[in-house]
Structure 1
Amino acid sequence: MEVKILGAGCYNCQALESNVINALAELDLAAEVVRITEAGEIAACSVDGVPALIVNGSVKVCGRVPQKEEIKEWLRQEDRQGGKGS
């Protein structure tokens, strides 16, 4: 599974990353977690704002920090669909 966290490293971006890592640990899922901080790379991902979360190429959220339980549901869905690298 590939997880991308987009943002410049602000408090909200760090909170999103923490929630993602905790959710992965609680679900005992393996994932490649990539932080994208460069403005050009973020723009290339076609998101409307940061922080943003992309799982296996699918934009899950942008412009807010989702709760860990919401992230866990997205991760479960991607794992059931046989996300790459899982």
Structure 2
Amino acid sequence: MQIKILGSGCKKCLTLADNARAALASLGREAQIIKVTDFAEIAAHGVMSTPALAIDDKVVSVGKVLSADEIAALLPTS
């Protein structure tokens, strides 16, 4: 599984990345977390408001910092 944090690297983006790590830890799962700061690549995902979260290249949240529990609920079960 691959999780992308799409954003400029601001405090909200860092918090979203931390929450993604916490969500994975709470579920005992592992994933590759990638921070995407290139605006062309962010726009290629159709994202115009950051931070955004993509799981396996599917954008699941735009423009808000999800909690660890909210992220855990979005992760695939297998």
Q: TM-score, normalised by structure 2?
A: 0.92
- The residue correspondences of 1:1-86 to structure 2 (distance < 5 A) are 1-75=1-75, 78-80=76-78
Structure 1: runs of 5+ lacking an equivalent: 81-86
Q: TM-score, normalised by structure 1?
A: 0.84
Q: What RMSD over aligned residues (CA atoms) do the two structures have, in Å?
A: 1.0
CA shift digits 1:55-82 (9 cap, x unpaired): 012211010101111101011xx133xx
CA distance in 2, matches of 1:55, 1:79: 12
Q: Percent identity?
A: 38
CA distance in 1, matches of 2:30, 2:68: 16
How far is 1:39 from its partner?
A: 0.9
